[in-house]
Amino acid sequence: MTSAPPRRFGFLMFPKYEELDLIGPWEMATMWRDYAGGPQCLTISETGGPVTCAKGLKSVADVSFADCPMLDYLLVPGGFSAFDEMNNERLVGFVRGRASVAQHVLSVCTGAFILHAAGLLKGRCATTHWKAMDQLRQLPDVTAVKQRWVRDGTVWTS
């Protein structure tokens, strides 16, 4: 009898990401893992290693883009720096590539703009932080919805 490969939940980190956007979901996913047989959880950044968050907290990515195993779930946090990162082709390419095989891709806050840059919001409903809602409404091929969270197929925004 062979066992199924482990499910994995990846949490994307980039310079100045908003701490709460990753730490809150991390806590819920690890509780899922620990108490209900949920997936392994790992943090990912472009080069691996230390990443400084928006408020100065230093976090450490478990793996780099190059070393990242297959993912079943990918979470993209937000923060003001997401607007810079949506122009980072390596990061956007990583998200696009992982999203093509993941079961679900999730964003928090302005992480939705990275999903858009990766082509994942085309023809979908999505939401973001209320301060960025007007900017989301201006993006082509996205229906901006003012809700706490939106699930449109395999893509979740909050």
Q: Sign of the C-alpha dihedral, residues 129, 132, 138, 139?
A: negative
Provide the strand spans (E) within the chain.
8-12, 40-45, 49-52, 58-61, 63-64, 73-76, 104-107, 124-126, 142-144, 150-152, 155-157
User: Which is catalytic among the residues 41, 68, 109, 125?
Assistant: 109
Residue among 129, 131, 85 at smallest CA distance from 108: 129
Q: For residue 109, indicate whether it is catalytic.
A: yes
Instruction: Yes or no: say if 10 and 45 are a contact pair by the CB < 8 Å rule.
Output: no
Q: Which residues of 6-18 are buried (b: 16+ CB within 10 A; e: fewer)?
A: eebbbbbbbebbb
- Which residues participate in catalysis according to the annotation? 109
